[in-house]
Structure 1
């Protein structure tokens, strides 16, 4: 099994981003599930727009190329909105054809207003790590289920 982690941070390389740090929990969990992980860092917010092009691509069986692939979301920030971001990105990934398992997300959110970022405080990390480990486990389990019983090509 192979996982691709797209880090859509706003920080340029090589600076460590908050999202990088939290995604590391998920990567570690996936690796414990014997998943090979590749990481790509995108310093852009156009990832979903570019992925829309996948809608017209199909595999040899006529399925959209995102079928039988799972996806999840990691969010960090200093203000409200983590659930909104997770739902918007998950919905867009589902539209493209990805399967979104339950609890396939984790987030860290300090709350509204200014305050420290993820890398500047330990507050809330335990909960974020716990949900990140659950995310990794659920993504791997769903990917195995789809490998054993793939979604068929659309009929008609």
Structure 2
């Protein structure tokens, strides 16, 4: 069996921790584990800690056009646009994604109307997954929220595209704390590894296929009048 070729693929991890650099991030521990596999196999890995950047609140591409003094999202956008693989990673608070994560998703949504060179939505042909950390329950809830949002924007979701670690319910050690058992947890390590490989494999498949097929989903063609065999029942009578 020939090893798949991942060279030329680009992956972007966005860490939605609440902690500014250089404060240690437990989420970063899981990112590092996944990123190490990708780097070993030739994937170009980029990382952003969102809280270190001045991302304005809102769902428009550049919020300085809507009353904000500064917005670093437009400068960040090319790094997102050029990534074949996007991994959203963050902590769980009160059973849900962090406020930083919600802002990241909103800014991704801001660009969802952009089109690629096939006339599809800009995220078509790109793969996404998520990593989550915490010391209470909520991994599946947070993953459902993120993976739904990402596919709705146009990303392709691989099998087993989420992984995470939580300790015992209630206050306790976080993933990187001494004695937490997080880095040694076989369930987390297995899921993180499977997620990473599935993202790389699917991204490579899409690249070899020239992206996601454009027939039936081109916004540009729809706006030009194409209907891809859709018939409105009102017009059939």
Q: TM-score under structure 2 normalisation?
A: 0.63
- What do residues 54-74 of structure 1 show as CA deviations (whole Å, max 9, x unaligned)? 221001210111111101100
Q: Report if the CA contact (8 A) 2:151-2:157 is conserved.
A: yes
Measured in 2, the distance between the counterparts of 1:116 and 1:62 equals: 48
- Aligned residue number for residue 25 of structure 2: 17
- Aligned residue number for residue 213 of structure 2: 152
- Aligned residue number for residue 57 of structure 1: 114
Measured in 2, the distance between the counterparts of 1:132 and 1:33 equals: 16
Greater fraction of residues in helix: 1
Q: Report if the CA contact (8 A) 1:63-1:152 is conserved.
A: no
CA RMSD between the two structures? 1.3
Larger radius of gyration: 2
- Aligned residue number for residue 181 of structure 2: 123
Measured in 2, the distance between the counterparts of 1:119 and 1:32 equals: 23
Structure scoring higher RCO (CA < 8 A, sep ≥ 6) equals: 1
Consecutive unaligned residues of structure 2, counting only runs of 5 or more, are 1-8, 52-99, 223-237
Regions of 4+ moved over 6 Å? none
Number of paired residues? 156
* 1:6 is the counterpart of 2:20: no
- Aligned residue number for residue 75 of structure 1: 132
* 1:105 is the counterpart of 2:162: yes
* 1:133 is the counterpart of 2:193: yes
Q: CA deviation at 1:152?
A: 2.4
